[in-house]
A and B are shown apart, each in its own frame.
Chain A
């Protein structure tokens, strides 16, 4: 095995074993020194995140490991960003993401957002407590391939339906795939409101996003 491949495997391992941001950055720098390209490093990072996702769903890892892997991914992509052409970091296209009106929860949305960036999406995060019209405006202005909505409160679930309706009203519904997630959201609810996809958790949301565009 070449020095470069060993260095890339070490990046995957840093993520897969959630060794922390400093260790991940150290290994990324070593990979760069061994002539790995930023895209090759991003691919190794993704492989590591896939391991984290699988272990989380198998309950070998817990939310803390998923959050930490997200923090590591954020730091490493930040480190690599100046070396990457914009188009190559955004190979899967743009996602507009936000938490719906009546709900100020940010954690789940932020985690999905970070993991989408690490997975190669260009993410426009419009924030929390966002009315349906703001989602619609963001879709019109940013032309994303996916609109992702999050909510934690059951009180706010019906807002998702309003967003889907607002997209329809603005003639934008057919231009974008709608992905929903959050603690009270189920697959059945997603279907009921006319969403295209559903993520049971952050890891599942990334899979669903990829699936929507495949």
Chain B
């Protein structure tokens, strides 16, 4: 069974020969440590920040080498900026992405992150020209990675969830205020961004990806960011459109979210095929979710990122064994951390997670406690 088949088998809720592994992102310091290469140019985990294809090719090649070295069966890739696009730069050193988010460089992670927005008033959105999904080059990175992974590894295409995207584009303060004062604007923005995603998903037919992964959070530690009612009225119908388009490609749709998703699970299980990250520190119990929804949901997770950063290697090994014991039986499970390998995660702990998964992840699963 090759690595891609291992993933495809588990996506069908069957047991492959062993539990597949992946991370949805690995921060530059770890990529560099694991490959001996250097991350080129400017990067962000949330949005394309450069259309320099030479740099992008180098970074894709480095990601491929890193995943190959780790033996990760599933390789996720972000959308690219369109050909020739250049991020507008501000005098204070910030830049603006295609979606009007103002990004600032974070020296610790060496990536660009959104922290402000060009949208100050509701009218700003009416004047804003949304990015064209059909602009050439958006699938550049995904196409390049497909050439590298061929049919040996599974390939996942990242899109950005419309709710999370609008929440960030407008900033949470404006999003909430306009939700109260201009609810139609928020609805319209989410619909427009879902339209964008549907167009992208249609284009993915050309590349033959194995998964569509929707990034962006629905919840924080306490619970959903907005009421479950708003999810049902606005967010979920738009999520469903993206899932349906993905299913037309014949592939599965995985929703990522940090935070406490428990109040949304009964709805999500009816819409998406799987869930990623299942943050244990936010009350996401992978064993309970497996018992209740495991026949319908593919689960990704959930070795705590906090443990990777701050706890002992023994603790990480114990958590990894727990994940395997609770979530792997029956298939439909891919082991990963509860978010990604942050820059300050101890690489020793990350590698212990991988090693433990390989040691105890062979089917039929039999993991000793402790």
A residues whose Cβ falls under 8 Å from a Cβ of B:
20-22, 56-57, 59, 62-65, 67-68, 70-71, 102-107, 110, 128-129, 153-158, 183-184, 200-201
Give the CA-CA distance A107 to B281 in the complex, in Å.
Answer: 20
A-B contact pairs, 10 of them (CB 8 A): A57-B222, A71-B176, A71-B177, A102-B108, A107-B173, A154-B310, A154-B344, A155-B108, A183-B220, A184-B309
Give the CA-CA distance A164 to B172 in the complex, in Å.
Answer: 30
Give the CA-CA distance A183 to B106 in the complex, in Å.
Answer: 18
Q: For chain B, residues 16 to 72, give those with C-beta under 8 angstroms from any C-beta of chain A.
A: none
Check if B177 sits within 8 Å of A153, measured CB to CB: no
Does B3 make an interface contact (CB < 8 A)? no
User: How many Cβ-Cβ contacts under 8 Å join chain A to chain B?
Assistant: 90
Check if B176 sits within 8 Å of A104, measured CB to CB: no
A140 CB to closest chain B CB (Å) equals: 26
Does B149 make an interface contact (CB < 8 A)? no
Residues of chain A lying within 8 A (CB to CB) of residue B115: 104-106, 128
Give the CA-CA distance A157 to B306 in the complex, in Å.
Answer: 11
Give the CA-CA distance A68 to B227 in the complex, in Å.
Answer: 13
Does B207 make an interface contact (CB < 8 A)? no
Among the listed A64, A70, A158, A200, which residue makes an inter-chain contact with B225, where contact means beta carbons less than 8 Å apart? A64
B residues whose Cβ falls under 8 Å from a Cβ of A:
104, 106-109, 113, 115, 171-173, 175-177, 179-181, 220-227, 230, 263, 281, 305-306, 309-310, 342-345
A65 CB to closest chain B CB (Å) equals: 8
Among the listed B109, B181, B222, B263, which residue makes an inter-chain contact with A155, where contact means beta carbons less than 8 Å apart? B109
Check if A63 sits within 8 Å of B222, measured CB to CB: yes
A147 CB to closest chain B CB (Å) equals: 22
Give the CA-CA distance A158 to B345 in the complex, in Å.
Answer: 13
A152 CB to closest chain B CB (Å) equals: 10
Residues of chain A lying within 8 A (CB to CB) of residue B176: 64, 67-68, 71
Q: Most chain-B Cβ atoms within 10 A of its Cβ — which of A57, A62, A128?
A: A62
A102 and B107 contact, Cβ closer than 8 Å, known pairs A154-B305, A155-B343: yes
Identity of the chain B residue whose Cβ is nearest the Cβ of A200 in the assembled complex: B221
Give the CA-CA distance A59 to B177 in the complex, in Å.
Answer: 20
A20 and B104 contact, Cβ closer than 8 Å, known pairs A56-B222, A155-B343: no
Residues of chain A lying within 8 A (CB to CB) of residue B344: 154-155, 158
Identity of the chain A residue whose Cβ is nearest the Cβ of B179 in the assembled complex: A64
Residues of chain A lying within 8 A (CB to CB) of residue B175: 64
Residues of chain A lying within 8 A (CB to CB) of residue B222: 56-57, 59, 62-63, 201
Prevailing SS type, chain A contact patch: helix
Residues of chain A lying within 8 A (CB to CB) of residue B220: 63, 183
B43 CB to closest chain A CB (Å) equals: 15
Further 18 A-B residue pairs, CB within 8 A, beyond A107-B171, A201-B221 = A21-B180, A22-B181, A56-B222, A59-B263, A62-B227, A63-B172, A63-B224, A64-B179, A64-B227, A65-B227, A67-B176, A68-B176, A104-B104, A107-B172, A129-B106, A154-B310, A157-B310, A184-B281
Check if A62 sits within 8 Å of B224, measured CB to CB: yes
B312 CB to closest chain A CB (Å) equals: 14
Among the listed B106, B172, B180, which residue makes an inter-chain contact with A102, where contact means beta carbons less than 8 Å apart? B106
Give the CA-CA distance A103 to B104 in the complex, in Å.
Answer: 10
Residues of chain B lying within 8 A (CB to CB) of residue A129: 104, 106
B75 CB to closest chain A CB (Å) equals: 24
Residues of chain B lying within 8 A (CB to CB) of residue A64: 175-176, 179, 225-227, 230
Q: Most chain-A Cβ atoms within 10 A of its Cβ — which of B113, B222, B309?
A: B222
Residues of chain B lying within 8 A (CB to CB) of residue A70: 173
A25 CB to closest chain B CB (Å) equals: 13
Give the CA-CA distance A22 to B113 in the complex, in Å.
Answer: 33
